[in-house]
Structure 1
Amino acid sequence: MKPGPQRIVCLTEETTEWLYLLGQEARIVGISGYTVRPRRAREEKPKVSAFLSAKIDKILALKPDCVFGFSDLQADIAAELIRAGVQVTVFNQRSVDEVFGVLYQVAAMVGCAEEGMRRIVAMERRLAEIRADVLLRQVDGKRRPKVFFEEWDEPHISGIRWVSELLGIAGGDDAFPELANESLGKNRIIADGAEIVRRNPDIIMGSWCGKKFRPEKVAARSGWQSVSAVKNGQLFEIKSADILQPGPAALTDGVEQMHRIVLDWMALHG
């Protein structure tokens, strides 16, 4: 038996996905109801939480020796579990470097530091390849597109830091870079949609926190017909599970999707 906690509840998806990738899924006794990666986790594990709420009694009945959470938004859940005597580890990663750091910490906690580092190095290598690919295309005269990443539609919320950083690696320039470092969604609200129109993004990527992105609704917004992304049909969904979880999904599938979208745009407009 490897050292570390043997009965883990994961309140968000990224730690569940990572433990499965490490071959440590047997340790997981409860997951978030939003979990879709890996798909089989939904069939194998009890669902005990949403994002802002959790079934405390159900979690306690599972007798976890550790609960993994994410961000200040789960502070109240964490506090209640701590008062009940449960060990809780809440990560608060926002940048790509911090995401990698958390992946290493979790791997080390379950006695898989070496395997975790092997996987981390492979992901870092692929990000470096994507970055180099973009630089080569710029040398060939391709320009980088300006991208508005919309995390929510009403009100408009721009992308969080790891999304902005991965977008940069993928070859796009965040249309609202000054907001990316704001950890809370309420601080990334763009109250006036006219400002998005003024910045005239070449591409719009949407990931509406689990709600389906509707390009036709974006294109129909008043005054948005003049936006380059709308005029050229450059509106794309990236599913929340692939980009808004600060874990393996964003570092692999999420950035790859953004990179393909950017490369297609460069081929047409570079």
Structure 2
Amino acid sequence: MNPRRLPSRIVCLTTETVEVLYALGEEDRIAGISGYTVIPPRARKEKPKVFAFSSGDLEKILAVAPDLVLGFSDMQADVARDLIKAGVAVHVFNQRSVDGILAMVETVGRLVGAEARALTLVAELEATMDAVRARAAALPRRPRVYFEEWDEPPISAVGWVSELIGIAGGEDIFAERARHPGAAQRILADPLEAARAAPDIVVGSWCGKRFRPERVAARAGWEDVPAVRDDELHEVKSALILAPGPVAIREGLPALAEIVARWAARLHA
């Protein structure tokens, strides 16, 4: 492949493509990032922030003269349209599953001529999942898990998170809801719906703010929920699991697996 035909000034409008480019050793190609980028932390110091997530100044993006912009989902459809009208090449990902995350890694690798390294990274992520699955297979019982992405209103797990719960050995109590890509379809209209499902474990990952287990425990009608009764209210930081990138598998999945393993150990102590 002629390196002169590869993009050399990439703007990443979400954190996961920044993460992948750094993991592939291709961070020098990044000309700008989203202000919500968190992985890796050094990117926030090294790269100019040119956009938020769904809003921002188009001129700030154009000012860094990108030859490729990487976006995510319909939430960035407007900026993608405007960039295309301005003559910029745009690739918008829409990964909502574990396979989608792996496919995104492979595609980013191909876009920058680093396919072999991308496939190696995917193999590492698959090995992580295989190891977690093997440990989960030895569990005496799979706990019922309620994952809460937001508290007011309560929002249940998105697709890749629900899958990771299953890999970790749990059963997402709202697995059917997780098929919906948008948060609106995952809002619990009845705040007692999760309580009635009697989860063994509650995992909070309130996007952008600290999970408060005492608030969950104090909810009306939750006093007899097994997770509340047994003090199985846990946090996984949103930065580790709510972005559909490698970090969700590298760090979010092991965090879920550890919660499930501790639950199982307590159950059979």
**TM over 0.5, yes or no?**
yes
Deviation for aligned residue 1:143: 0.5
Is 2:200 the counterpart of 1:198?
no
- SS of the residue corresponding to residue 39 of structure 1 reads coil
1:176 corresponds in structure 2 to 174
Is 2:187 the counterpart of 1:189?
yes
> 8 Å contact 2:51–2:60 — kept in the other structure?
no
CA distance in 1, matches of 2:193, 2:41: 39
Give CA-to-partner distance per residue, 1:199-233, whole Å, 9 cap, x none. Answer: 01111111111122111111111111111111111
Of residues 231, 235, 238 in structure 1, which corresponds to 2:233?
A: 235
Larger deviation, residues 112-121 vs 232-241? 232-241
1:71 corresponds in structure 2 to 73
CA distance in 2, matches of 1:61, 1:256: 40
CA distance in 1, matches of 2:71, 2:209: 22
Q: Following superposition of structure 1 onto structure 2, how do residues 10-89 of structure 1 map, counting pairs within 5 Å?
A: 10-89=12-91
CA distance in 1, matches of 2:73, 2:47: 23
AA of the residue aligned to 1:223: G
Give CA-to-partner distance per residue, 1:140-164, whole Å, 9 cap, x none. Answer: xx11110000011111110111000
- SS of the residue corresponding to residue 59 of structure 1 reads helix
- SS of the residue corresponding to residue 176 of structure 2 reads helix
Is 2:102 the counterpart of 1:100?
yes
Of residues 121, 124, 130 in structure 2, which corresponds to 1:128?
A: 130
Is 2:158 the counterpart of 1:160?
yes
Q: Which runs of 5+ in 1 are unaligned?
A: none
2:146 corresponds in structure 1 to 148
Is 2:250 the counterpart of 1:252?
yes
AA of the residue aligned to 2:95: Q
- SS of the residue corresponding to residue 180 of structure 1 reads helix
Give CA-to-partner distance per residue, 1:218-252, whole Å, 9 cap, x none. Answer: 11111111111111111111111100111111011
Deviation for aligned residue 1:265: 0.4
CA distance in 2, matches of 1:91, 1:38: 19
Deviation for aligned residue 1:54: 2.4
Deviation for aligned residue 1:177: 1.0
CA distance in 2, matches of 1:12, 1:171: 29
Deviation for aligned residue 1:96: 0.6
Aligned residues: 266
Deviation for aligned residue 1:259: 0.4
Q: CA RMSD in A?
A: 1.1
CA distance in 2, matches of 1:55, 1:38: 24
Q: Which runs of 5+ in 2 are unaligned?
A: none
TM-score (norm 1): 0.96
Q: Sequence identity, in percent?
A: 53
Of residues 9, 27, 31 in structure 2, which corresponds to 1:7?
A: 9
Is 2:267 the counterpart of 1:265?
no
2:209 corresponds in structure 1 to 211
